[in-house]
């Protein structure tokens, strides 16, 4: 299932990139997402977060009470007025993944971050239905990043 999310930030792309690769910002995103446990790592322009969340009630009988979501972003070198990165999201022990791309560029109030990706739930016969039910949770995660980012930049 195709996933698209757009975030706007009131800062130039390099400032937003610096925020997106800052471990303190990533920690705040994990806390804001109500993670029961989390880990954050940054290695140059590569970020990784692991968040353990309470499973949604509708999924808990299939997944157990907790889900661990691992998100990795690998940013490429800046080109012009922005950057592009690849994103990989997995749910540990579950047949759920998303691969995609983030594009950070100048625009809007300063910068626009666009995520495009493909969400896959590899379950025969039910996969497409499960993708539709999982998509809002994935998008909520990116909305949380935007909300934390706006507060971060207001500073």
Q: Which residues have CB under 8 Å from 71's CB, separation 6+?
A: 47, 48, 49, 51, 87, 88, 89, 141
pLDDT digits (tens, 9 = 90+) for 80-122: 889 999 999 999 999 999 999 999 999 999 999 999 999 998 8
pLDDT for residue 42: 98
Whether this prediction's pTM lies above 0.85 is answered by yes
Nearest-angstrom CA–CA distance, 15 and 104: 11
pLDDT digits (tens, 9 = 90+) for 122-143: 888 777 877 787 788 888 889 9
3-state secondary structure 40-68: EEEECCEEEEEEEEECCHHHHHHHCCEEE
pLDDT (tens digit per residue) in 52-83: 999 877 777 778 899 999 999 999 999 888 99
């Amino acid at each position: 299932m195709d996933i698209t999310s757009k975030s706007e930030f009131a800062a130039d792309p390099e400032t937003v990139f610096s925020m997106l690769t800052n471990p303190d910002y990533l920690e705040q995103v994990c806390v804001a997402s109500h993670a029961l446990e989390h880990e954050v790592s940054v290695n140059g322009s590569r970020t990784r977060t692991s968040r353990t969340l309470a499973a949604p009630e509708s999924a808990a009988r299939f997944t157990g009470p907790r889900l661990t979501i691992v998100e990795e972003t690998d940013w490429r070198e800046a080109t012009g007025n922005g950057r592009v990165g690849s994103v990989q999201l997995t749910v540990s022990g579950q047949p759920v993944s998303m691969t995609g791309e983030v594009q950070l560029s100048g625009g809007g109030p300063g910068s626009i971050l666009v995520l495009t990706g493909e969400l896959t739930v590899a379950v025969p016969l039910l996969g497409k239905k499960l993708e539709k039910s999982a998509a809002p949770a994935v998008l909520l995660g990116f909305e949380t990043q935007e909300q934390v980012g706006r507060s971060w930049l207001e500073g």
